[in-house]
Amino acid sequence: MSISIFIWWVAVMLFYGYRFLITRFYDVSLFELIYYTIMPLKGGNKGPFIKELPKTISFAVAGIVIPTVLYRVLLMRYGESDVRSIMLLSAAIIIVADIAMAFVHLHVLRFWILNLKASDVYEKYYVDAKEADLIFPEKKRNLIYIFLESMESCYSSKGGGVTEYIPELTKLAMEGEDFSGAAPDTVKDSLSGESTEFIDSGEINGAFAPPGATFTTGAMVAHMAGISIDLQIRDKEEFLPGMTTIGDILAKEGYEQRFLLGSDVYFGGREPLIKQHGGYKVLDYKSAKRDGLIPEDYYLWWGFEDEKLFDFAKDELTELSKGDKPFNLTLLTVDTHFLDGCRCRLCRDEFKEPYGNVLACSSRQVEKFVEWIKQQDFYENTTIVLAGDHPTMDSRFIKRAGLRDKERKSYVSFINAPLTAQDKKREYTTLDLFPTTLSSLGVKIPGNRLGLGVDLFSGEETLYEKLGPEEFEKQFTRKSLFYRNFL
């Protein structure tokens, strides 16, 4: 009896796990699940899972009570050996069904089939930034790069969304450059008859996230190096030593570099990425406590909220602007992380969905921070990049907000860049933000390509435009022999 009940308990818990996966992590890929089994999870936010604990305990209890009652009921009609066989067979069917549904949901078979053949995308298109003859302007521009956690363009009604959750960010995208192009408007000219002028299209664009860049660490690699992370990581402590990031390039050019985030930098392999590629000075949750910026016992969400992050960033920028070096200040926000986001004291009750209120709050805070920067003396020589790191994993919100069938793109806006993009809408990915960011600093890039990305200010065709969505996704799902040998 005990063996039958235990196997039934396993079946019930597997069903609960699958249910939790599809309701809260619908868009999480097999790649992400594997990645986080091989990389450190220390410093992660356990809060959402603690909230789920009562349901977990309920299912665990049900996994014992249900088969026990069922066993007793069946004994009234059948012999003990028959009941044991019925229980084992039924539990086995449930377990197989659970595993099969998870396999289908995670596209395990497709993932395995695609990886039978190696990708050749690196051999064909990769440009090693170490070998590129980059030409910086005589007066080097400062960079402020803000990774906006899980921020998507479809949260805006002008980005394909149903509801306008982020009006301030929408305004910043339309005032800056998001590579949405312009819509032609035919107007009458008094001398020559008809002529065509180009006006703003009234829409905002964004970047697709390639496979391997749909979670924070992978997204950072795409944004900073123009490559997609691969499961063939050889060493957890030495993070892709053959890779060249924007941090590596700017460090070589004498930039003072700092990275601020309201969580533990150790989580998910971010620490070696940031410190080994650019030698950034890091201010994270742990260092903020150590330096007395927050109380020793302070903990909210993943560490500290974005309101504090932006305040700390102002202090850092004030200090950096007094130095004689160009600077690169990079931020990673956290309030809009799934599940449901962090409701801080600045949040309002504007929307039915809690996550919608957090998105709206983040939008207001980012605009306020950008407006502060615009009032500073260093702004004239500074490029600001606002970029969603990857699409959200909060599948419950995506479903309730009516965004499941919308184009899911990371939010993008280049502010105060000394360049003008072409008047056409670009189809691009977060890989393209690497060379584009350098270009927005006035850097000349031979061939307009770095890593697997393209400078979007140029007319060069992106890989996404060249290959098309389906082939692009296949190439970046497959393993790469080049990646294994050189990165």
**Residue 120: per-residue pLDDT:** 92
Question: pTM for the full model?
Answer: 0.85
In the sheet that holds 256-261, the strands lie side by side as 206-207, 410-415, 382-388, 142-148, 327-332, 256-261, 281-283
Contact 378, 322 (CB under 8 A): no
In terms of pLDDT, which residue wins out, 268 or 204?
204
Q: Point out the least confidently predicted range of 116-125, 185-194, 416-425, 430-439.
A: 185-194
Which carries the bigger pLDDT value, residue 263 or residue 231? 263
Residue with more model confidence, 202 or 416:
416
pLDDT value of position 463: 97
C-alpha triplet 444, 449, 454: angle, nearest 5°: 105
- For residues 66 and 307, give the distance between their C-alpha atoms in angstroms, rounded to a whole number: 48
* Pair type for strands 327-332 and 182-189: unpaired
- Average pLDDT over every residue of 355-359: 97
Nearest residue to 326 via CA among 240, 251, 215: 251
The stretch 358-384 carries a mean pLDDT of 98
Place 13 in a pLDDT band, splitting at 50, 70 and 90. Answer: confident
Give residue 62's pLDDT band: very low, low, confident or very high (50, 70, 90): confident
Q: Taking all residues of the chain, what is their mean pLDDT, rounded to a whole number?
A: 87
Average pLDDT for 378-390: 98
pLDDT at 250: 98
- Cα(277)–Cα(252) distance, integer angstroms: 11
In angstroms, the CA 79 to CA 98 distance is: 29
| Cβ–Cβ < 8 Å for 269, 234 | no
Q: What is the pLDDT of residues 209-246, one digit of tens each?
A: 999 899 999 999 999 999 988 765 555 567 888 999 99
Span 290-298, average pLDDT = 96
Of the pLDDT bands very low, low, confident and very high (cuts 50, 70, 90), residue 198 is very low
Within 8 A by CB and 6+ apart from 286, the residues are 43, 264, 265, 266
Residue pLDDT, tens place only, 409-468? 999 999 999 998 888 999 999 999 999 999 999 999 999 999 999 999 998 999 999 999
Answer whether 312's CB lies under 8 Å from 274's CB.
no
Q: What percent of the chain has pLDDT over 70?
A: 86
Task: Taking the CA atoms of 329, 332, 336 and 341 in sequence, report the sign of the dihedral they define.
Answer: negative
**Around 282, how many Cα atoms within 13 Å sit in the side-chain half-sphere?**
22
List C-alpha distances in Å: 222 to 176, 433, 438: 22, 8, 14
Mean pLDDT value across residues 199-214: 85
User: Is pLDDT at 189 greater than 50 in this prediction?
Assistant: no
What string of H, E and C letters represents the secondary structure of the chain? CHHHHHHHHHHHHHHHHHHHHHHHCCCCCHHHHHHHHHCCCCCCCCHHHHHCHHHHHHHHHHHHHHHHHHHHHHHCCCCHHHHHHHHHHHHHHHHHHHHHHHHHHCCHHHHHHHCCCCCCHHHHHCECCCCCCCECCCCCCEEEEEEECCCEHHHCHHHCCCCCCCHHHHHHHHHCECCCCEEEEEEEECCCEEEEEEEECCCCCEEECCCCCCCHHHHHHHHHHCCCCCCCCCCCCCCCCCCCCHHHHHHHCCCEEEEEECCCCCHHHHHHHHHHCCCCEEECHHHHHHCCCCCCCCCECCECCHHHHHHHHHHHHHHHHCCCCCEEEEEECCCCCCCCCCCCCCCCCCCCCHHHHHHHHHHHHHHHHHHHHHCCHHHHHEEEEEEECCCCCCHHHHHHCCCCCCCCCEEEEEECCCCCCCCCCCCCEHHHHHHHHHHHCCCECHHHEEECEECCCCCCCCHHHHHCHHHHHHHHHCCCHHHHHHC
- What pLDDT sits at residue 108? 72
Q: Could you identify the residue written with the tokens 């086995």?
A: 92
Evaluate the omega torsion of the peptide bond into residue 487 and state whether it is cis, within 30 degrees of 0: no
Specify the pLDDT at position 478.
85
The model's confidence at residue 144, banded by pLDDT at 50, 70 and 90, is: very high
**59/231 Cα distance (integer angstroms):** 33
Structural domains of the chain ordered from first start: 2-114 (no CATH), 127-486 (3.40.720.10)
Name residue 460's amino acid.
Answer: E
